[in-house]
């Protein structure tokens, strides 16, 4: 969830949520574990790999189904996601905050 994604219409964001098996849009916090790993000595012997952090959007989205049926609800509701997005954008001082 970045200022670019925040500029998308609510309908577009909902479409992306529906196509993402985890059911919510990625926030910067969702990649912090990978960043810490890559910045640490734990990854020193790692070369030429691709870490895919997509909530399943590209890696699992191999069907023509518009939306996934989830056994477990997403981490946040669409409404709570907008609240979190606005809070995140306010924290970084984004002038396009909605």
Handedness of CA 27, 13, 88, 94 (dihedral sign): positive
Q: Walk along the chain (98 residues) and give the pLDDT tens digit of each residue.
A: 677 888 888 888 888 888 888 888 888 888 999 999 999 999 999 998 889 998 888 877 655 555 666 666 777 887 888 888 888 778 777 555 44
- Extract the tokens encoding 64: 């023509």
Q: Give me the residue spans of the domains in the chain.
A: 3-91
Tell me how far apart the alpha carbons of residues 29 and 22 are, in angstroms, rounded to a whole number: 15
Tell me how far apart the alpha carbons of residues 6 and 84 are, in angstroms, rounded to a whole number: 11
Give the DSSP H or E segment for 32.
helix 32-39
pTM value is 0.62
């Amino acid at each position: 969830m970045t200022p670019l994604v925040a500029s998308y219409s609510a309908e577009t964001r909902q479409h992306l949520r529906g196509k993402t098996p985890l059911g919510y849009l990625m926030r910067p916090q969702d990649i912090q574990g990978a960043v810490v790993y890559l910045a640490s000595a734990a990854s020193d012997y790692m070369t030429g790999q691709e870490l895919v952090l997509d909530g399943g959007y590209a890696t699992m989205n191999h069907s023509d189904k518009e939306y996934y049926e989830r056994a477990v609800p997403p981490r946040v509701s669409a409404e709570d996601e907008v609240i979190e997005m606005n809070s995140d954008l306010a924290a970084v001082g984004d002038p396009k905050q909605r």
